[in-house]
Amino acid sequence: MIMNHSLSTSRLDNWLDCRYGAMLREQGWELIFPALAREGGTLVHHILSMVYAKQKKGTSQARFIKTQIKAWTVQMKLKSSQQKWLEEVEELAAYYEVVLPEYFKYWKDVDSPEWLDFEEKSQKDNLFRFSLLLGKTETVTLQGKRDALRAVGKKKSVWVYDHKTHSRIDPSTFISKLKIATQSKLYALVTNEQYENFKGLVYNVIRGKSMRVGKKETLQQFQDRVYDKIQEDPSHFFFRLEIPFTQAEIKTFAEDIRAQAKEYIAWKMGNLPTYRNGSTKICCGVFACAYLQHCANPTTPIEATGLFERRIRSAKITHTS
């Protein structure tokens, strides 16, 4: 009899970062006010996927971007009436109103109908499921979602596209960081299994907001300044990094992921302890961990902080035999 476990890639990724954070996440604890930069990143992902999937161009593209940003702004503003939050939402919306049309303009001669799939073209098709043998009688099915897939050139080489909206980027470590990320390893492993001519990952960077509205500046003046900055140096705002993977590397990734999935399953079954990672690199990295303020006051129960609410029921790894 074969025992099969089913596990989402984001769950494994969270667990590798910190078991305590993974436990809170699996219990459904989420920030009442999410990090706005992350919410902006979700908006960008959605717009890119939809524009590419539906081949929107010209005025229809411009209209679509505007409408989506407007709808996002309304949704974000419903989360709080605090002046600071409302201003930050307006500012971020104004930023992407300028940046996104320029992004599509910048890549218009390169982007073509070579796309194979998108996050939102067919949610179902693009969800990948990949079965990995853990032992003689045990497998794990890893599930996840790629941003986009593209087949390029005469040989139809397959690349996974991953959209990133970082504002601060350290060029000396950026590629290595991306290459060793669990998400990258999984994308490589799964796509290599699905497509014979898989080549690697392309990180499609759209620079996140680091510019602020000046004290005496209107939103329109801010947008003009962002526009001018893009014209001065568009490659600072938009760039793509190709990271090819060799078959030997992919084999190593499979070994890593097999060992990690085994440990995760053991933890989930109560055979490994839960503890706070406490590494400042994980707790307060590029994006601070959502639970930072809770962990900084560990004797206060999470429900008493007033910062979190429980949104979903604990999701379990499923086991079938």
Q: Does 295 bind ligand SF4 (CB under 6 A)?
A: yes
d(CA 73, CA 29): 24
Closer CB to ligand SF4, residue 5 or residue 268?
268
Contacting range for ligand SF4; rule: CB under 6 A; set: 177-185, 191-199, 220-228, 274-282:
274-282
Count other C-beta atoms under 10 Å from residue 82's C-beta: 10
Closer CB to ligand SF4, residue 182 or residue 192?
182
Closer CB to ligand SF4, residue 292 or residue 315?
292
Of 16, 37, 219, 282, which lies in the binding site for ligand SF4, with binding defined by CB under 6 A? 282
Closer CB to ligand SF4, residue 14 or residue 73?
14
Size of interface with ligand SF4, in residues (CB under 6 A): 13
DSSP 211-251: ----TT--HHHHHHHHHHHHHH-HHHHEEEEEEE--HHHHH
The CA-atom distances, in angstroms, between 137 and each of 9, 133, 190, 277 are 22, 8, 21, 32
The CA-atom distances, in angstroms, between 289 and each of 18, 117, 278, 284 are 10, 31, 11, 6
For residue 150, the cross-strand partners are 115, 159
Closer CB to ligand SF4, residue 3 or residue 31?
31
Closer CB to ligand SF4, residue 286 or residue 292?
292
Contacting range for ligand SF4; rule: CB under 6 A; set: 51-59, 103-111, 112-120, 289-297:
289-297
Q: Which helix (H) or strand (E) holds 303?
A: none
Of 165, 291, 302, 317, which lies in the binding site for ligand SF4, with binding defined by CB under 6 A? 291
Count other C-beta atoms under 10 Å from residue 215's C-beta: 5
Q: Does 20 bind ligand SF4 (CB under 6 A)?
A: yes
Q: Does 277 bind ligand SF4 (CB under 6 A)?
A: yes
Q: Does 276 bind ligand SF4 (CB under 6 A)?
A: yes
> Quick check: 116 and 52 in contact, CB under 8 A?
no
- Give the helix ranges, DSSP H, for the chain: 9-17, 19-26, 36-53, 58-77, 83-106, 123-126, 174-180, 182-194, 219-232, 234-237, 247-268, 280-283, 292-295
Contacting range for ligand SF4; rule: CB under 6 A; set: 12-20, 58-66, 86-94, 258-266:
12-20
Q: Does 298 bind ligand SF4 (CB under 6 A)?
A: no
Residue entry with tokens 């989506």:
68
Q: Does 18 bind ligand SF4 (CB under 6 A)?
A: yes
Nearest distance from C-beta of residue 8 to ligand SF4, angstroms? 18
* Contacting residues toward ligand SF4, per CB under 6 A: 17-18, 20-21, 276-278, 282-283, 289, 291-292, 295
